[in-house]
Amino acid sequence: MTSENERYWFPAKRYGWGWGIPRRWEGWAVLIGFLVLATAGSAFFHSPERTYFLFCYHAVLVTSLVVICWKKGAPPRWRWGDKT
């Protein structure tokens, strides 16, 4: 593993497109924060009248997570497993 790859919070997946589980503590903090906020939002918006707000809330959370992964993770591209 090179030192360049170690600086990424989210490493690239070996197969497919995207990122794997976090490699650094900052990535774990982001992922745990995302899960806590998603769970809290689901509990707060837990009525049929608030379904639209729940959808918007989760859309913002997911978009934020993808942006953070894009900026702090390995460059995304399709991988077949033969290269790191």
Cα Dmax for the chain: 51
Instruction: Kindly report the pTM of this predicted structure.
Output: 0.83
Percent over 90 (pLDDT), the chain: 67
Contacts of 11 (CB under 8 A, 6+ apart): 5, 19, 20, 23, 73, 74
- pLDDT bracket for residue 11 (50, 70, 90): very high
Q: Quick one: average pLDDT of 46-57?
A: 92
Contacts of 53 (CB under 8 A, 6+ apart): 45
- DSSP label at 80? E
d(C-alpha 19, C-alpha 77), whole Å:
10
The more confident residue out of 35 and 12 is: 35
pLDDT at 60 over 80: yes
